[in-house]
Amino acid sequence: MSKIQSKLNIIPLGGLGEIGKNMTVFRYGDDIILVDAGLMFPEDDMLGIDLVIPDITYLVENKDKVKAIFLTHGHEDHIGALPYVMKQIGAPVYGTALTLGILQGRLKENGVSSEACKIIKPGDKIYAGNFKVEFIRVNHSIPDAVALAIHTPIGIIIHTGDFKFDQTPVDGQVTEFNKFAEFGDQGVLALMADSTNAERPGYTQSEKIVGQTFDDEFRYAKNRIIVATFSSNVHRIQQVVDSAVRYKRKVAVIGRSMVNVVNISMELGYLKIPEGVLIDIDESNNYTPDKIVIITTGSQGEPMSALTRMAMSDHKKVDIVPGDTVIISATPIPGNEKLVSRTIDHLYKLGADVIYEKSNGVHVSGHASQEEIKMMHNLVRPKFFIPVHGEYRHLIKHAQLAGSLGMPRENIVVGENGSIIELTRNSIGINGRVPSGKVLVDGLGVGDVGNIVLRDRRQLSQDGIMIVVVTIDKDTCTVVSGPDIVSRGFVYVREAEGLMETAKEKVQQALDKCEQSNVSEWSVIKSAVRDSLGRFLYEKTRRRPMILPIIMEI
């Protein structure tokens, strides 16, 4: 074995220093495998952007080396970039049945074939070049999540994916603690583990807790019950169904993604709904309100979602009426707090009783808290440690937790997206970088919106635009028409006629000056107009609209 081949490179392309777009490359010699390919939702300042995916330049440049893609579970932040990745990378994609079921819907929407998808289950082993990957069942807020044991020529890497230790999972399928322990016995070179809740002391509660809350609410609710949650949380949906059955209510499902996931999960056997319980929303009028439960999307206050439409009295099929109980079984994802809060207020105004995060037991996290994280470390007992999946501060806290368990500081690497983390049997360190970053998806455009476009959108969003058009005779350099001024998003013109008139005069003065000094370069004229008008508007309004002079030549 040559010297180069005794090194393993781990290259995170997403998920480090951020919550979302998780994606990790493993490279040994000329063999590459990829773990997950997630998307991220845009930051507030990415105006008009639909979603964000990792920069995969490195993968595309090495596409012939990519032997396989492995998926840990079916959440958007782990599979959402695949429609884009699979268009460029031809490798087989391995995931559990539910993961691939959800993925196939996404692929279809994007016109990508799902031929490359291969179903695996916990315990399976897949060979991919120099790698052998083994799947270990873990608990998370979606069924069928797995961790990976990646056998490499220099040792075993354990990648936890997203996980929690649920001692009483809804489907009875406990995390395979024994597998982690066995790998620990064999010796693990490095652990890569979920850092999302590394700030949270103690243990994350069991999903079962939420079922008990549902039971309590269902027992006392006198009218209709509406439950909003994440569509991918199939166990949560199962618990709503179970409570409905127990309290003799019918269940209607609304919201596009909720209907999709419920259908897939029933087909694949992850969701069990007894005959006759599920009804169409249109049939719900045949029952008294105390016999109905509606399961819906919208737990994040998303403007177009079913629950938000209900709250705004804008849903085609469901009107909220006094006496309804609405359970928002979720916690707002950072950035969504205000949307959720607005939804709650509107529901209250319509007379609903709203049960939300401030109540205990209405939601539990899908990620391990500090004690579970420590337990994972103590089961796996790795030589080296790389915290993954988290904002920078989560990674740091996770590194500190590992330190508190006795791992030497030099055995821990807190990387960044694009870092080439180099491992040998005896060492770990960062050795260079590959291209990495955020690729913005806006409509059909992937990566065509860059910093300049975003900067323009930001300026337009703040103070609008003012367009100045003049037609100039290019032979005589004299103005033959205009200047005309049109503004949008600056000020309501009917209320600012005086301002617009004076603005026009300012432009005229600037043009006259140019004419007097025989300026014939359009760019000089444009910047004279921009400066003079900009100064005038700022003085009068303290606003800085984008000023766009356009010269038409005849």
Sole binder of a copy of itself in the list 98, 142, 273, 491 (CB under 8 A): 491
Please, which residue, 229 or 369, has the CB nearer to a copy of itself?
369
C-alpha pair distances (Å), 19 with each of 35, 36, 45, 354, 402 = 16, 14, 16, 29, 20
In this structure, what DSSP letter does residue 139 have? B
Among 10, 463, 466, 526, binds a copy of itself (CB under 8 A): 463
**What is the CA angle 320-324-329, rounded to 5?**
95
Q: How many Å apart are CA 92 and CA 131, to the nearest integer? A: 14
Of residues 67 and 394, the one with the C-beta less far from a copy of itself: 394
Is residue 460 involved in binding a copy of itself (CB under 8 A)?
yes
Residues 6 or more apart from 87 whose CB is under 8 A from it?
A: 112
Q: What is the number of residues in the chain?
A: 554
Find the binder of a copy of itself among 74, 143, 301, 482 (CB under 8 A).
482
Write phi, then psi, for 446 (nearest 5 degrees): -115, 105
- State the catalytic residue, choosing from 346, 367, 377, 394: 367
Q: Is 159 annotated as a binding residue?
A: no
Is 363 annotated as ligand-binding?
yes
Q: Which of 31, 124, 199, 215 binds a copy of itself (CB under 8 A)?
A: 199
The answer on whether 456 is annotated among ligand-binding residues is no
Tracing tokens 């169904």 back to the chain, one arrives at 241
State yes or no: residue 462 binds a copy of itself (CB under 8 A): yes
Residues 235, 258: Cα–Cα separation, whole Å: 13
Tell me whether residue 367 is one of the annotated catalytic residues: yes
**275 scored as a contact of a copy of itself (CB under 8 A):** no
- β-pair type (145-152, 155-159): antiparallel
Segment near a copy of itself (CB under 8 A); pick from 228-236, 246-254, 282-290, 489-497: 489-497
Q: Is 25 helix (H, G, I), strand (E, B) or coil?
A: strand
Q: Which of 245, 227, 255 is nearest to 353 (CA)?
A: 227
Within 291-350, the residues that bind a copy of itself by CB under 8 A are: 334-335, 337-338, 341, 344-345, 348-349
Find out whether 25 is annotated in a ligand binding site. Answer: no
398 is in an annotated binding site: no
464 binds a copy of itself (CB under 8 A): yes
Q: Which of 62, 392, 437, 508 binds a copy of itself (CB under 8 A)?
A: 392
Q: Is 456 in the site for a copy of itself (CB under 8 A)?
A: yes
The answer to whether 394 is a known ligand-binding residue is: no
Q: Which is nearer to a copy of itself, 47 or 116 (CB)?
A: 47
Binding to a copy of itself by residue 542, rule CB under 8 A? yes
Segment interacting with a copy of itself (CB under 8 A) among 33-41, 180-188, 389-397, 521-529: 389-397
The SS3 call for residue 195 is coil
Residues 162 and 99: their CA atoms lie apart, in Å, by 13
- 358 near a copy of itself, judged by CB under 8 A: yes
* Residue 194 designated active-site: yes
- In the complex with a copy of itself, the residue whose CB is nearer, 274 or 450, is 450
Closest to a copy of itself by CB, 50 vs 290, is 50
410 touching a copy of itself, by CB under 8 A: no
CB of 305 to a copy of itself, least distance (A): 17
Compute, in degrees rounded to 10, the torsion defined by CA atoms 349, 352, 357, 359. 120
Cβ of residue 526: shortest distance to a copy of itself, in angstroms?
Answer: 11
Give the residue among 11, 232, 24 at the shortest CA–CA distance from 148: 24
Does residue 504 contact residue 494 with C-beta atoms inside 8 Å? no
Q: Do the annotations mark residue 389 as ligand-binding?
A: yes
Query: At 479, which amino acid appears?
Result: V
Which residue from 325, 132, 311 is spatially nearest to 227, judged by alpha carbons?
325
The first and second tokens of residue 196, run together, are 């999302």
Helices (H), 405-521: 451-463, 497-516
Q: Which of 223, 365, 471, 508 binds a copy of itself (CB under 8 A)?
A: 471
Which residues are registered as beta bridge partners of 488?
A: 465
By C-alpha distance, which of 186, 138, 190 is closest to 160?
A: 138
- What tokens were used for 267? 């087909």
Exposure string (b/e) for 501-510, b if CB count within 10 Å is 16 or more?
eebbebbbeb
- Confirm or deny that 48 is annotated as ligand binding: yes
Q: Which positions make up the binding site for substrate?
A: 231-233, 363-367
Residues of the shown chain interacting with a copy of itself in the complex, contacts defined by CB under 8 A:
17, 43-44, 47-48, 199-200, 334-335, 337-338, 341, 344-345, 348-349, 354, 358, 391-393, 396, 442-445, 448-450, 452-454, 456-458, 460-465, 467, 469-471, 480-482, 484, 486, 488-492, 495-496, 540-543, 546, 548, 550, 552-554
Among all residues, which ones are annotated catalytic? Answer: 194, 367
Q: Which positions make up the binding site?
A: 48, 50, 73, 75, 77-78, 140, 162, 231-233, 363-367, 389, 442
